[in-house]
Amino acid sequence: MAFDTRELFARLLKCEAGGEGIDGMAAVASIIINRTNATEGEFARVSNGGDVRAIIEQPNQFTCLKTSIGGAYNPQNIYNMVPEDIHYEIADWALAGNTVSSVGNSLFYFNPFSATCPNYFPSNIGVIYNRIGDHCFYSPTQAYSKT
C-alpha cells in the first residue's frame, strides 16, 4: 500500500515516538526536517534539496519502516499503525518547515534503553544535545560532514 508523504510521516511519528507524547513526537519530526535541510553529509545527498519522503524512506534509518528485523516479523511497523489526529497535526506542522528548539540542529536520535545517553552517537558522527523522554538527540560532529 502506497502512502502519500503526509500519511507516511504521521504513521512514522506514531510508530517511532507515539509513546513519547507531543514533545517527543515533535522532536522526532524535527529530526526529519533537520535532515531534509542538511547542507552537507549523507542527508544532504539523500534529501536532494529538501525531499522529506526521501529522508523518511532512506534505507536502514527507521526500524518502523521494516516489516522484518533479523528475519523475524516486526509487528511495530508503519503498516500496522493507525494515526490519530495528533500524528497528522505534528506531521503537518513539520511539513510546514517547523522544528523545536529542544533538539537544535540534531540529525540523530535513538532510545538507549538506559537512564543515561552516551556522549556520542555511533561512529562519533553526533554529540549529545538533549534527552527528551526515552530518546537521546545528537547534533552532527565534523565526522558527519564526511559521510
Nearest to 25, CA basis, from 78, 83, 81, 91: 91
* 72-73/108-110 β-pairing: unpaired
Task: Express each pLDDT in 37-51 by its tens digit.
Answer: 999 999 999 999 999
Provide mean pLDDT across the span 95-105: 97
In three-state secondary structure terms, 69 is strand
The pLDDT of 62-83, averaged and rounded, is 94
How would residue 2 be classed by pLDDT, with cut points 50, 70 and 90?
A: confident
Query: What pLDDT score was predicted for residue 114?
Result: 94
For the chain, percent of residues with pLDDT exceeding 70: 99
Q: At 127, give phi and psi (nearest 5°).
A: -120, 145
pLDDT at 1 over 90: no
- Of the candidates 73, 76, 33, the one whose C-alpha atom is nearest the C-alpha of residue 53 is 33
Helix (H, G, I), strand (E, B) or coil at 97: coil
- Give yes or no for a contact between 115 and 92, defined as CB atoms under 8 angstroms apart: no
Q: How many CA atoms lie within 13 A of 36 on its CB side?
A: 20
Locate cell 510521516: which residue?
9
Note the pLDDT tens digit of each residue in 56-67: 999 999 999 999
Provide CATH code, domain 5-103: 1.10.10
92 pLDDT more than 90? yes
The residues near 119 (Cβ < 8 Å, ≥ 6 apart) are 127, 128
Q: What is the residue extent of each domain of the chain?
A: 5-103
Band (14; pLDDT cuts 50, 70, 90): very high
> Of 74, 127, 118, 100, which Cα lies nearest the Cα of 20?
100
pLDDT of 142 higher than 60: yes
